[in-house]
A = this chain, B = another copy of it.
């Protein structure tokens, strides 16, 4: 048995997908249903709607006042009232039984029918009533304050057109013209199933090595929000027979099937085999985009099966790009309504030769300028997923996009820009402050690590950041700001977090320092290079090497797992609690969170980096206030956290 790399022989351009599908199946609405007009917003009309009546259906008054023959009051002025005989009264909903004679008037309410041959209405405020006589103090022109029969729209006139998307104001017009129900296209039924042995249903306990089956919820949310009728078919194991049976079942109860996962070039790849057995079978096998490339489309008789990749960002991107336009066509939409905004690209983005590279993007608005930050993350990333605003496209013909140019950002469904953006290292205490801020302001929070926070403040993507970067000088954060020549930045001292060895209770007696760890051959989990914690580890190992007159290299080799890294405090604790390794270095807070033992080594500092341009934003102003007012009380509830002597002070400015 050997590994084989899947080769995508004929990757398809995004623009060609619809055309290829339509060689087999015409993408048009699947049927028509009749709905009450009051429940029809957002549906697409399957018919031209004609007025059943002309509007107004009778000549009516637009005012409360007196219906007159305008010639009778042609000489009425404030100092020369004309006296008319009151001949009757007509209210809205009544039929005037009287024909007006010259010299007469009729009391009339707004919306009441004008009696023949009255041709104008004198508003009540220009009249005085004396018994049966009305004095008119102003002339009115023919037609004044009158709404003529059929002047607004005429019977059989089309008031809403086939393929129009119904809006509330359109409903007003349709209903006014006497139409109670309209024919709209029926919603396509989309069956969704997920494939993979590693998938666990939401709500169940998660075993090691398994992941939650989340893509179906995301895709169901997306497709139902654009008007599809979605049906969840559950999780299917990586087994030929089960996949085949599940897809057949899905085909039998839907207009279109979406499978998620099972399409990457993995060790066991069965979905393709099943899809290729339908007639005419797989018509698209890989598209020219990254992410989203391993998307496949198969046709089973007259139904489409779309196989989406399983990594969440790939899955969402491919769904936005391929499934949404198909469903819009099935819903009867003529025009794709993907929202695009223009923003300045703050860093260069590499392309993907021969592929449309769709790069997930965050958009900021600082100093009234929109800027786009392309997130070069892998498609399995989840934590950033909900913070993405949209994506930019690097076309297949380009090696990449330069920074400083204007780019189109295609917004995801439901995306709306934040007031202010926080980027930096995740810290539960900082998160608590952000939580308070979120109550009043719409903040985007993206945890990309300390260094990204500093960089993105200086690129005007982030309004503020949180960072705990230790320099070899022993100083936190400021040396990095100087090194990267950042401008317009204020650094506010945050607080101190206690670091130490983290291990399971069973090793309490044998861990005091690295000497113990090496001696007892305990498995170590290290932090990533560049992290402050890694610097602490390396400093301790240097001391040990010095003590035994060994090279640092020798000491590192003696420590089992020195090269086994992870990137977060929680990662260290989790690996230890799951017994994959025995000991690591991290925060006391995290050790307690996972019920592990802790032996202190030292402290690290967490600071807030503020963009000077953002100081005028209410959200940032409020955040500074929170550091001052709420941090001191809050910190007491966080084990392993303490105030710094300079907490809340500006420690650097440039």
Contact = CB atoms under 8 A, between A and B. Distances in A.
A51 to B, nearest CB: 8
A523 B118 CA distance: 13
Contacts of A62: 378, 380
Contacts of A125: 5
Interface in A122-151: 124-125, 127, 129, 142-143, 147-151
Contact of A41 (B214, B216, B224): B224
Interface stretch (A26-34, A163-171, A508-516, A538-546): A163-171
B382 A55 contact: yes
A111 B380 CA distance: 9
Contact of A165 (B143, B416, B570): B416
Contact of A175 (B129, B212, B230): B212
A403 interface: no
B5 A154 contact: no
Nearest to A557: B71
Given A382-B177, A414-B165, A266 B568 contact: no
Interface in A36-89: 36-42, 48, 53-59, 62, 64-65, 69-71, 89
Interface in A205-230: 206-222, 224-225, 230
Nearest to A449: B151
Nearest to A49: B386
A162 to B, nearest CB: 7
Interface stretch (A350-358, A431-439, A472-480): A431-439
A38 B171 contact: no
A38 B571 CA distance: 29
A129 B1 CA distance: 9
A404 interface: no
A3 interface: yes
B150 A217 contact: no
A152 B383 contact: yes
B571 A149 contact: yes
A180 to B, nearest CB: 4
A503 to B, nearest CB: 16
B202 A412 contact: no
A62 to B, nearest CB: 6
Interface stretch (A8-16, A91-99, A599-607): A91-99
Contacts of A109: 266-268
Nearest to A320: B168
Contact of A93 (B155, B196, B384, B440): B196
A234 interface: no
Interface stretch (A277-285, A461-469, A484-492, A559-567): A559-567
Nearest to A560: B117
A574 B149 contact: yes
A172 interface: yes
B93 A38 contact: no
A529 B64 CA distance: 25
A175 B217 contact: yes
Contact of A564 (B119, B219, B380, B442): B119
Across chains A and B, which 9 residue pairs bring their CB atoms closest together, nearest first?
A175-B214, A93-B198, A153-B383, A93-B197, A154-B570, A172-B218, A167-B414, A150-B571, A168-B222
